[in-house]
Amino acid sequence: MRLKVEQHIAQRGTGWTTIEAPFDLSPALNGMTRNQICLLDCATMWLTNHLLAEHDLKREQTAFLDLLQNCPAEVVVVSNEVGQGIVPDNALSRRFREAQGRLNIAMAAQADVVVQVTAGLPLVLKGQLP
Which value, in Å, is the radius of gyration of the alpha carbons in the chain? 15
Active site residue 8: yes
Which SS3 state, helix, strand or coil, does residue 106 take? helix
| Cα Dmax for the chain | 46
3-state secondary structure 29-82: HHCCCCCCEEEEECHHHHHHHHHHCCCCHHHHHHHHHHHHHHCCCEEEEECCCC
Q: Residues 6, 7, 8, 117: which is the catalytic one?
A: 8
Annotated catalytic residues are 8
